[in-house]
Amino acid sequence: MIAPPPAQLSLNLHDARWRPVVAVNGTMAALDLNALEVDELIDLGFLIAFNIAVDPDGRRELRILTRSISQYQASGRKFRMELPALLKLLTPHSKPTITGLEIQRSLNCDCEHVTNLLRANQIAVAPGTNWQRGPGGSPCVTSASYETFLRTRIIGDWIGEENSKHKTP
């Protein structure tokens, strides 16, 4: 079966095709560049990335915003967006909690990575929430802690005063 064009894809989280970010390898393939060239585009502000590594001071684990890749492909210009709108691209709703599955889809990572972020206190489990491995065991994370995580992990150029305060090297 051929996938529908991107304009026809819904942002339904149960649709496995909803991925607002891709890893460096996906960016390399989309832009026909090597990893150093992708890093340079991020450093120059043409692409927006998030360092989703468990240890932010260790080796970077980058996810690049697909919208910034599309804009760069189409125009060669820098991707600019207000921070609240940028964060909204990675948060599927405005509820007080977000599930581990929603975070996996948002960050394009696996359940183990979400578990490691929780254990490292990079994101916080909602009070009174029990979680475990397996079906129905997805953790409920506070949306506020997830938004804080995203704000502190942005690499690149966006519009707003917060850019200089939250920019990750």
Residues 126-154 pLDDT 10s: 998 877 776 777 899 999 999 999 999 99
Distance (Å, whole) CA 40 – CA 20: 21
Domain ranges across the chain: 6-166
Report the alpha-carbon angle 138-140-142, nearest 5: 155
Distance (Å, whole) CA 135 – CA 106: 19
> Which position has the higher pLDDT, 168 or 59?
59
Distances (CA, A) of 46 to 112, 118, 147, 169: 30, 31, 23, 15
Residues 44-93 pLDDT 10s: 999 999 999 999 999 999 999 999 999 999 999 888 888 888 888 998 88
Residue with tokens 């960016």: 27
Write down the mean pLDDT value for the chain: 83
CB of 85 within 8 A of CB of 147?
A: no
Q: Is the pLDDT of residue 18 over 60?
A: yes
Length of the chain: 169
Tokens of 142: 């506070």
Predicted confidence band at 5 (pLDDT cuts at 50, 70, 90)? very low
